[in-house]
Structure 1
């Protein structure tokens, strides 16, 4: 399995939940990769695969663990469980 190097955030323009989560993540020390599902067909397909065929955002992946519209606390918990190496020491 490839090492986890970042939290993957899937979003789209006009999504207020995405904006809020992006702002909170930007204030953290977590590395984040952002994917706009309206510009990236593969990103949209990945979201649909975990959201019963829907394009629900924000969707976040920590390695193979997916979360739909998670709180920052849920993301932190997933990082602790699945990718503790992403936490600042």
Structure 2
């Protein structure tokens, strides 16, 4: 399973999303768009036009941002996505 997250290091939503995913015990491949600004266009394309960070992908499937991740967590669907994608 591959978790990808486009981030800005000081973004509180990025920090919250990272904390939740770390708590779940998954490794996260982070793309810092402040250090690699060319990745911002890639992120926007992959995230269907979304421009905010974080943008999160599980095995290439766009999950959304931090709020979307927490909606999945509260509904119990996040664990399913993390276990079915393994």
TM-score normalised according to structure 1 size: 0.68
Q: Root-mean-square deviation (CA), in Å? A: 2.2
Pick one of 26, 35, 57 that aligns with 1:30.
26
Could you tell me which runs of 5 or more consecutive residues in structure 2 were left unpaired when the two chains were aligned.
Answer: none
Q: Tell me the CA shift for residue 75 of structure 1.
A: 4.3
Give the 3-state SS of the residue equivalent to 1:35 in structure 2.
Answer: strand
Q: What residue is the counterpart of 2:82 in the other structure?
A: 79
Give the 3-state SS of the residue equivalent to 1:61 in structure 2.
Answer: strand
Alpha-carbon distance in structure 2 between the residues aligned to 1:75 and 1:59? 15
Give the 3-state SS of the residue equivalent to 1:60 in structure 2.
Answer: strand
Q: Tell me the CA shift for residue 31 of structure 1.
A: 1.7
Give the 3-state SS of the residue equivalent to 1:71 in structure 2.
Answer: helix
Q: What residue is the counterpart of 1:8 in the other structure?
A: 4
TM-score normalised according to structure 2 size: 0.69
Alpha-carbon distance in structure 2 between the residues aligned to 1:77 and 1:10? 22
Q: How many residues align?
A: 78
Indicate the structure with greater helix content. Answer: 2
Alpha-carbon distance in structure 1 between the residues aligned to 2:37 and 2:3? 19
Q: What residue is the counterpart of 2:57 in the other structure?
A: 61
Alpha-carbon distance in structure 2 between the residues aligned to 1:80 and 1:66? 16
